[in-house]
Amino acid sequence: CNPVTCVGAGVPSNTTLFDRSKEAIPGGVNSSIRAFKAVGGEPYVVARASGATITDVEGTTYLDLVQSYGAVILGHAHPAVTAAITDAVGAGTSYGAPTPREMKLAEEISSRMPSCERVRLMNSGTEATSTAIRLARGVTGRDRIVTFAGNFHGATDALLVAGGSGVATLGLPGTAGVPNASVAETMVVPYNVVPQLDDKVAAVIVEPVAANMGVVAPVAGFLEGLRAECDRVGALLIFDEVITGFRLAPGGAQAKYDIRADITCFGKVIGGGLPIGAVGGRRDIMEHLSPLGPVFHAGTLSGNPLATAAGLAALDTLTPDVYIELLARVRHLSSKMRDACASAGFEASFPVVGTLFGIVCGDAASDAVTNFDEAKRTDEAAYSRFFQAMLAEGVALAPGAYEAMFVGLGHTDEVIDRIAEATFRAATT
Ligand code: PLP
- b/e 129-140 (16+ beta carbons within 10 angstroms → b): bbbbbbbbbbbb
Q: What angle do CA 333, 339, 342 make, to 5 degrees?
A: 140
Q: For residue 298, report the distance from its CA to the centre of ligand 1, in Å.
A: 19
The sign one gets for the Cα dihedral 243, 404, 25, 156 is positive
Q: For residue 84, report the distance from its CA to the centre of ligand 1, in Å.
A: 24
- Which residues approach ligand 1 with their CB closer than 6 A? 69, 124-126, 129, 152-154, 165, 207, 212, 240, 242-243, 267, 277
The H or E element containing residue 180 is helix 180-183
For 5-78+319-428, which CATH superfamily applies? Answer: Aspartate Aminotransferase, domain 1 (3.90.1150.10)
Residue 262's identity, in one-letter code, is D
Q: For residue 396, report the distance from its CA to the centre of ligand 1, in Å.
A: 20
Of 2, 322, 369, 293, nearest in space to 136 by CA: 293
Q: Which of 153, 159, 191, 205 to mutate to test the pocket of ligand 1 (most atoms within 8 A of CB)?
A: 153
Domain ranges within the chain, ordered by starting residue: 5-78+319-428, 79-317
Q: Class of the 79-317 domain?
A: alpha beta
Residue 323's identity, in one-letter code, is Y
How far is the C-alpha of 270 from the C-alpha of 85, rounded, in Å?
Answer: 14
Burial of 314 (0-12, 13-18, 19+ CB in 10 A): buried
The CA–CA distances, whole Å, from 254 to 68, 98, 105 equal 23, 29, 19
Q: For residue 425, report the distance from its CA to the centre of ligand 1, in Å.
A: 32
- Ligand 1: atom nearest CA of 268 is 15
What is the per-residue pLDDT for 35? 93
Residue nearest atom 2 of ligand 1, based on CA coordinates: 153
51 phi-psi bin (left φ>0, alpha ψ -120 to 50, beta other): left
Q: For residue 266, report the distance from its CA to the centre of ligand 1, in Å.
A: 8
What is the per-residue pLDDT for 290? 97
73-254-105-123 Cα dihedral, nearest 10 degrees: -70
What is the per-residue pLDDT for 300? 98
Sequence-ordered strand ranges (E) for 253-333:
263-266, 277-281
What is the per-residue pLDDT for 363? 86
How far is the C-alpha of 182 from the C-alpha of 204, rounded, in Å?
Answer: 16
**DSSP assignments along 96-153, one per residue:** SS--HHHHHHHHHHHHH-TT-SEEEEES-HHHHHHHHHHHHHHHHS--EEEEETT---
Residue nearest atom 10 of ligand 1, based on CA coordinates: 153
How far is the C-alpha of 259 from the C-alpha of 223, rounded, in Å?
Answer: 7
Of 160, 152, 356, nearest in space to 244 by CA: 356
The CA–CA distances, whole Å, from 149 to 17, 198, 374 equal 37, 19, 11
Q: Hey, which residues does 118 pair with through a beta bridge?
A: 281
- Ligand 1: atom nearest CA of 124 is 15
- Tell how strand 61-64 and strand 53-56 pair up: antiparallel
How far is the C-alpha of 102 from the C-alpha of 120, rounded, in Å?
Answer: 9
Of 15, 106, 19, nearest in space to 58 by CA: 15
Mean pLDDT by 10 residues, the chain (429 residues): 67 91 96 94 97 97 98 98 98 98 98 98 98 98 96 93 66 76 92 98 98 97 98 98 97 97 98 98 98 98 98 97 97 98 97 97 88 96 98 98 96 98 96
| 282 DSSP 8-state letter | -
What is the per-residue pLDDT for 382? 97
